[in-house]
Amino acid sequence: MPNQDNIDNKPEIMTNITQILNAVQKQKTTYASNYWVPSLGRDVRFSELNTSQQKRLIKSIVDSPVYNTEFIQTFRDILRENCVEDGVDIDTLTVIDKLFIALGLRISSVGGRIDLDIQPDPEKPSQAVSVDLIKLHETAKSTLSSIQPVTYENELFVIECNVPTVGAEYTLERELRLNNENIEIETNKALRDTIGEAFIDEIVKYISNVSVKTDGTVTPVSWNKFNFKDRITVVESFNTALLKEIVGYINKVKEESNKIEVVKFQFEGKEYDRRLTIDGSFFMISSN
């Protein structure tokens, strides 16, 4: 005979989608994990990727061969959805933070290993080698260095460079490319033009403040109130020496991002390094 207590304590059957989603939302917060955020110097809690989010990331793979607009937009939105810690503004995190969190989310949501193609013998087909992302994550965490803002100036401008934020990157892509669905590169000229635009866009992302020198006076510019098209116009007036300084700063930041994006491994007694493609494809679940 059934125990009456067991009958009385039987959970209520869920009868609609709202009940299911509410239950999932509750578990999402309960089972969130800690992810190291370099610029904050501490862990922040995020929930793992769900199936819907992985679908959105996969859809973002189809994009321009130069720009990565869809992924930038999609991943920023997912970070905002999955951060379960109050008081953390995703848009103020840096692009280095974003890469590091992406690596952590990939490990926890998909797995700690990834297959990369190598071709040890040019006369033979390439082959897939499984590499350890957990080791890459641990090494990056222990070796990442903080990049501080730097000021450069010439006879016309005083500019401050800083590591771009997730919000700045998102806004630039939204203003310049989000609704431009037909970025076609069919000729060498189109490719040159696109690469040139991407180069200037990258420069603009790293400039956080600008002042103008006039008649011996340094006048601050309300840089954050300018849209990115206007910022680009200003940057295009910089001379080569100033541009070289900014590029040098960007290269220092790239050295840090390489610690997250470049994985080193050995295969048949030889050492290799490969750059991870951290876009929608990075989060695909293998069918093997």
Assess whether pLDDT exceeds 60 at residue 213: yes
Give the three-state DSSP class for 175. helix
Confidence tier at 19 by pLDDT (50, 70, 90): very low
Task: Compute the C-alpha angle 86/107/178, nearest 5°.
Answer: 65
Q: Is 263 exposed, middle or buried (0-12, 13-18, 19+ CB in 10 A)?
A: buried
Mean pLDDT of all residues in 178-193 = 55
Mean pLDDT of all residues in 210-229 = 94
CA–CA distance, 29 with 46 (Å, rounded to integer):
8
Is the Cβ–Cβ distance between 206 and 162 less than 8 Å? yes
Q: What is the pLDDT of residues 151-178, one digit of tens each?
A: 999 999 999 999 999 999 999 999 887 6
**Phi/psi at 271 (5° precision):** -100, 135
Task: Compute the C-alpha angle 45/173/82, nearest 5°.
Answer: 15
CA–CA distance, 80 with 83 (Å, rounded to integer):
6
**Rg of the chain over all Cα atoms, to the nearest angstrom:** 23
As given in the structure block, the two tokens for residue 252 are: 């220092």
As given in the structure block, the two tokens for residue 209 are: 């403040």
CA 24 from centroid of its chain's CA atoms: 26
Cβ atoms within 10 Å, residue 166: 22
Average the pLDDT over each of 151-155, 213-217, 254-258 and give the range with the smallest value: 213-217
CA–CA distance, 198 with 263 (Å, rounded to integer):
25
Confidence tier at 284 by pLDDT (50, 70, 90): confident
